[in-house]
Amino acid sequence: MIPPQEASVRRREIEDKLKQEEETLSFIRDSLEKSDQLTKNMVSILSSFESRLMKLENSIIPVHKQTENLQRLQENVEKTLSCLDHVISYYHVASDTEKIIREGPTGRLEEYLGCMAKIQKAVEYFQDNNPDSPELNRVKFLFERGKESLESEFRSLMTRHSKVVSPVLILDLISGEDDMEAPDDVPLDHLSESVLHDVIRISRWLVEYGRNQDFMNVYYQIRSSQLDRSIKGLKEHFRKSSSSSGVPYSPAIPNKRKDTPTKKPIKRPGRDDMLDMEIDAYIHCVSAFVKLAQSEYQLLTDIIPEHHQKKTFDSLIQDALDGLMMEGENIVSVARKAIIRHDYSAVLTVFPILRHLKQTKPEFDQVLQGTAASTKNKLPGLITSMETTGAKALEDFADNIKNDPDKEYNMPKDGTVHELTSNAILFLQQLLDFQETAGAMLASQETSSSATSYNSEFSKRLLSTYICKVLGNLQLNLLSKSKVYEDPALRAIFLHNNYNYILKSLEKSELIHLVAVTQKTAERSYRDHIEQQIQTYQRSWLKVTDYISEKNLPVFQPGVKLRDKERQMIKERFKGFNDGLEELCKIQKAWAIPDTEQRDKIRQAQKTIVKENYGAFLHRYASVPFTKNPEKYIKYRVEQVADMIERLFDTSA
């Protein structure tokens, strides 16, 4: 059992706790009542606010809509006024721009083009909106007048500012071809920067707005004339310089060119300085055309629309190109006439020109890229014409060497070198300066399969074969000509002189190396021929030395008196020798051996033979009493005989 005291305490605790809970519950109840009241008040306020908002909305929306309509009306009015201003401005364009259009674009191109833009817009407006308006005709008239003024200004600018390029500047421009390190290209400012700017602006306007291409014709005609005149001016510069100073070169560049041989050129028979000047002038004009045409194309690309550039350039270069081609064909024509006359020195003018044309052809082809086929084919056509003519000249020359007639009056009386030989060698020597050109000429006429795979080695062999052919023909002709001489000794001297001249010329000019390409033994063969002719000549002295040779001489004993027959035989031997010696020396003194070395060699050999024979003869018979008048038969001492032979082949002695 729980003690009463503890039970009482617990009861009081429970009662106190219950009282606290009742108080808490009462507080919560009061709070809920207050909250309900606040909620009711808030609902009432919100209901009132909603009612007021609905009333406000019903009032504001109509006002907003009315304001929006008013704003739209205002914008429409503003747009209408703006359009009216814009339209009205078109009606003022004619009066605003007429004065400027009438005065032209000179000096104020940008302002002028601005006026033309306004006029063009006015034309478009009236065409679209009021095609019957008199204003349309007025602005159309102004537009056409303005376009004509721009066309006229384009022509005027091009005419006034397109200048002929001076010869000195052209020569400076092409001088880089000769230098190992070519300098930067010499600039050609055909038009100043400001003029070029105006020309380009007008060109673009005429293409884009003027729907006009006539200005391109104006452009190429003006530039074509300047190009042609520049090249002709260069040619005239050569002519004047040559006639005044004999030096047809620009003072600004070295006196050299790509086509000048490294070795001293041989003076060509029949050639003169004027002809050399013409060749130089033509070669320089060809180079000038390439450089000037390149420059013209660069200028043209800034001014002419891209799809018209090639055609315009083609037209622009025609006059200058045709002039060069015509002059080249004239050179070919002159060469052909020279061939008919057998004047092969004149044909040599073709060689340096042809070589230069072939060297320049890659640049030519590059410059003419995109032009018409007829334009591109002009240079190859001229090259072919020159090659054909050159090959014809080479062929005819070889035939002429073979068939040159044996004219007695044309033969050298002294047996020296024939004019045919010197001319033939001179011609061949000059081919050395143009080996590739001459070889290509010969190759161009070949139809064999080997010719189709043409190369420099093939060309060299062809040229070697040709030179050997000429030399062979020359040798045959010389043999034929030598028969004109009745004296076999003079015939031998003639052949000796010519063979020796040929050999020495081949060696001096390095032709011998070219000959050796196809004939390895050519040099030895000529030396054999020369020696053979010397031996033939020496046989002419047998009729002298036979008199004093030991054969058929009488045998006698010292101290034994000679018989009459023996004395007479000795007298005849002395007389025969003396007469023969005098006759040969008189005849052969008038003969010539131009080569000093050969002349001394032949004299010395003959002196040795005669001195030995005559010395032995004198030794045997000088003291023999075969005559009472020994001075009548023993006319010459050995030294005198040697002196007489020493004066052979010397017309001045």
Q: Residue 55: what pLDDT? A: 78
Residue 330 has a pLDDT of 93
Q: For 488-510, write each residue's pLDDT tens digit.
A: 999 999 999 999 999 999 999 88
Q: What proportion of the chain, given as a percentage, has pLDDT over 90?
A: 54
Confidence of residue 270 (pLDDT cuts 50, 70, 90): very low
What mean pLDDT is predicted for residues 106-125? 90
Alpha carbon distance 360, 362 (integer Å) = 6
Q: What DSSP designation does 593 have?
A: -
pLDDT score of 246:
47
**pLDDT exceeds cutoff 70 at 61:** yes
Sign of the dihedral through C-alpha 45, 46, 49, 54: negative
pLDDT tens by residue, 610-640: 999 999 999 888 888 888 888 899 999 999 9
Q: What is the pLDDT of residue 1?
A: 64
How do residues 14-31 score in pLDDT, each as one tens digit?
A: 988 888 888 888 888 888
What are 291-317's pLDDT values in tens digits?
999 999 999 999 999 999 999 999 999
Q: Residue 268 — pLDDT band, cuts 50, 70, 90?
A: very low
Question: Is 5 a residue whose pLDDT tops 60?
Answer: yes
Place 181 in a pLDDT band, splitting at 50, 70 and 90.
very low
Band (pLDDT 50/70/90 cuts) for residue 85 is very low
Q: Tell me if 641 sits within 8 A of 611, measured CB to CB.
A: yes
pLDDT single digits (tens) 63-76: 777 777 777 776 77
Mean pLDDT score of the chain: 85
DSSP 397-457: HHHHHHH----GGGS-TT----HHHHHHHHHHHHHGGGHHHHHHHHHHT--SHHHHT--HH
Q: Which of 44-58, 227-241, 459-473, 594-608 has the lowest mean pLDDT?
A: 44-58
Q: What is the pLDDT of residue 80?
A: 57
Predicted local distance difference test score (pLDDT) of residue 347:
83
User: Which pLDDT score, from 0 to 100, does residue 561 have?
Assistant: 79
Say what the pLDDT of residue 54 is: 81
The span from the CA of 437 to the CA of 258, in Å, is 14
Long-range contacts of 610-615 (CB under 8 A, 24+ apart): 610/541, 610/544, 610/545, 610/581, 610/641, 610/642, 610/645, 611/638, 611/641, 611/642, 613/545, 613/548, 613/549, 614/548, 614/577, 614/638, 614/641
Instruction: Give the total residue count for the chain.
Output: 653
Assess contact for 162 and 226: CB atoms under 8 A.
yes
CB 204 within 8 A of CB 280: no
pTM above 0.85, yes or no: no
Among 29-43, 319-333, 343-357, 482-496, which is the least confidently predicted range?
29-43
Region 191-215 average pLDDT: 90
Find out whether 317 and 293 touch, Cβ atoms under 8 Å: yes
Joined together, the tokens standing for residue 634 give 């023993």
Residue 365 has pLDDT above 70, yes or no: yes
Which residue did the predictor score with more confidence, 357 or 58? 357
Helix residue ranges per DSSP H, 483-595? 488-508, 511-515, 522-538, 542-545, 564-588
Q: For 509-533, write each residue's pLDDT tens digit.
A: 889 999 999 999 999 999 999 999 9
User: What is the spatial distance between Cα 74 and Cα 79, in angstroms, rounded to a whole number?
Assistant: 9
Q: Is the pLDDT of residue 255 over 60?
A: no
Mean pLDDT of 195-219: 90
Tokens 């002429």 locate to: 400
Q: What is the pLDDT of residue 454?
A: 56
The answer to whether the CB of 259 falls within 8 A of the CB of 352 is yes
pLDDT category at 176 given cuts 50, 70, 90 is: low
Tell me 255's DSSP state: S
Question: What's the confidence (pLDDT) of residue 265?
Answer: 37
Joined tokens for residue 524: 């030895």
111-115, 308-312, 335-339, 405-409: segment of lowest average pLDDT: 405-409
Handedness of CA 498, 503, 504, 510 (dihedral sign): positive
**C-alpha of 268 from chain center:** 25
Q: Residue 652: what pLDDT? A: 63
Average pLDDT, integer, range 44-66: 78
Q: What are 598's two structure tokens?
A: 């050969």
Residue 447 has pLDDT above 80, yes or no: no
